[in-house]
A and B are shown apart, each in its own frame.
Chain A
Amino acid sequence: MSAHDEILEPRPQGAIARFRAFREKQPHLFLLVLMMLVAFFMMDPRTWVVLTISGLAMGAMVFLMASGMTLTFGLMNVLNLAHGAFISLGAFAGATVLVHWLNASAGESSLLANLAAVVPALGFALAVAGVVGLLFERLVIRPVYGDHLKQILVTVGGSIILMEMIHVIWGPNEIPVPRPDALTGAFLVPESWPVIGGVALEKYRLIAVILGLAVYGMMTWVIEHTRTGILIRAGVEDQEMVEVHGYRIRLLFLGVFVAGSALAGLGGAMWAMYREIITAHMGDELMISVIVVIILGGLGSIKGCFYGAVLVGLINLYVGYLEPRLAAVATVGLMVGVLMWRPQGLIPVIKV
């Protein structure tokens, strides 16, 4: 859409004007480039590469978890504070399949056997979180559409129930999650490469980045180019007119909620393999990052959510390396800074 706007406006003249235009029109890219550049000059280039890849990987996983919540809010105007429970649920569902499968094919270390364990694990996490999401929308969310206070109370309650259910099914203890052999270890960048030769890049992080990018690409494609996407964007703007055209907005809500919950589950399962240990309350801990990301990106915006997640991932890793004591402050500090600059978030979705 922004491409069309540019046609109508005169091109900015001069380097400073062009820089200003870039800062105002592409605040997400501006911030990303700024952050990466500043970090680059503050550390060794090899460290920078490793941290950047790790930050992107964390960003990709947080994006998976946050994208559903931002859509739920943008389209349905529902604040679902139980979103974290779906992250935990996905993690436990994925871990169950993984442990079971890896025990069955113990000792197998070929890539194919490992993939055969990981893909069903992620698929199962997706499915379990999606199905529970379906029930959750029907039973918990549906009665409280349009009332934020009730939504907060009811979803916090729902979240407690879901997490206690995890305790009931999987027990109260932390569960270690073995990462399949093919996904452990690292790629070594060949020594002959300039500057970054010899850097070890963890395989799993690279895979997380690729998967995150793939999901982002797919979501963007669905939202930009399919009828469902047009309906979602239209619904964010004016639900009544969507109904006037003969579409049942409630079905659309349900679909988006299920998809969002399923993605949270997928993100949770990815996170489980990344951390290699899970607890029922991991979702709650991640919710802080998730909420920061969706506010930072602009509530309801997928693109904003993606860049917000990447920014949060990067600042976590950079600051964690430079000054570990400040790591916890950095995420929230980033959000506060961005909101002071752009109170609607990086890429606001305009509600008319």
Chain B
Amino acid sequence: MSDPILSLTGVRADIDQYHILHGVDLQVPKGELTVLLGRNGAGKSTTLRTIMGLTTVTGGQVRFQGEDITGQPTPRIARKGIAFVPENMGIFSLLTVRENMVLAAVSGPMDEQRLNWIFELFPPMKKFWNRPAGNLSGGQKQMLAIARAVIEPRELLLVDEPTKGLAPAIINDLADAFEQLKQQQVSILLVEQNFNFSRRLGQSVAVMNDGGVVYAGQMAELADNEELQQELLGLGLGAHQ
């Protein structure tokens, strides 16, 4: 494994009086897609939010490209090249698709070439370019959320459950999009419940339980080892369907 682009060591975080993360250790290798698996409530989303500086870190360290970013304000973390697609997608529904994209292109006008690539990846974006984003369907909103994240070259994408509530055909489109991003050597940390989707895309994998990482390794290993899946995820039945 090359140098990790992002590494968490012993990260602890609280939301109100609840301890959500009790010492998370996580490495995201550069240029790879890492999947973060785990049951509901294991702390996956909180881990992403903590990396973005959206929850207060009470202990441990987050390092991005070797630099300590623990406790830095969210906008500064974002400007270092980390894009975050939250579970609810965070679409500005009163803004048009175009305005959503303009806002995401932080450093100035959108790059024409990159925009065309996004239109090819997600044709609905072109079709609904000047429509309010609130009128988009769930799948189209997810496309817009990912399009926003990649309108400018980023070092790292944090994506929280992109397949949640989407039809299989659209999940396939999203998988294709992630394949392309992988080819471009974008580092991605993907939180996912859909094991087939994550098995298809993931190179490395980490499994969380009860606010900590309980397994970290290569996806191929986990995918072949049904016993381990059973133990970590209780997924034995679903894995091969």
CA distance A337 to B78 in the complex (A): 47
B64 near A: Cβ within 8 Å?
A: no
Restricting to B126-148, which residues have a CB under 8 Å from any CB of A? 130-132, 134-135, 148
Closest residue on chain B to residue A7 by CB atoms: B131
B235 near A: Cβ within 8 Å?
A: no
B79 and A233 within 8 A (CB):
no
B93 near A: Cβ within 8 Å?
A: yes
CA distance A349 to B94 in the complex (A): 9
Instruction: Return chain A residues, CB-CB under 8 Å to B54.
Output: 240, 244
A247 and B106 within 8 A (CB):
yes
B212–chain A nearest beta-carbon distance, Å: 25
A11–chain B nearest beta-carbon distance, Å: 18
B69 near A: Cβ within 8 Å?
A: no
A106 near B: Cβ within 8 Å?
A: no
Q: Which among A237, A238, A243, A245 is the interface contact of B104 at CB below 8 angstroms?
A: A245
B75 near A: Cβ within 8 Å?
A: yes
A244 and B90 within 8 A (CB):
yes
B95 and A245 within 8 A (CB):
no
A245 and B99 within 8 A (CB):
no
A234 and B92 within 8 A (CB):
yes
1/0 per residue A1-44: CB within 8 Å of B?
Answer: 10011001000000000000000000000000000000000000
A241 near B: Cβ within 8 Å?
A: yes
Closest residue on chain B to residue A2 by CB atoms: B132
Closest residue on chain A to residue B93 by CB atoms: A352
Q: Which among A230, A241, A243, A246 is the interface contact of B102 at CB below 8 angstroms?
A: A230
Restricting to A285-330, which residues have a CB under 8 Å from any CB of B? none
A231 and B131 within 8 A (CB):
no
B92 and A1 within 8 A (CB):
no
CA distance A243 to B104 in the complex (A): 11
Instruction: Return chain B residues, CB-CB under 8 Å to A234.
Output: 92, 95, 99, 103
Instruction: Return chain B residues, CB-CB under 8 Å to A349.
Output: 94
B90 and A246 within 8 A (CB):
no
Contacts A4-B130, A244-B86 supplied; 9 other A-B pairs, CB < 8 Å: A1-B94, A1-B96, A4-B96, A227-B103, A230-B99, A234-B99, A245-B78, A245-B104, A248-B75
- Shortest Cβ-Cβ A-B pairs, 8 listed: A246-B78, A241-B90, A243-B74, A246-B79, A234-B92, A246-B106, A248-B75, A230-B99
Q: Show 21 residue pairs from A and B whose CB-CB distance is below 8 angstroms, ordered by the A residue.
A: A1-B96, A4-B96, A4-B132, A230-B95, A231-B103, A233-B94, A233-B99, A234-B92, A234-B99, A238-B92, A241-B90, A242-B103, A243-B75, A243-B78, A244-B78, A244-B90, A245-B103, A245-B104, A245-B148, A246-B75, A352-B94
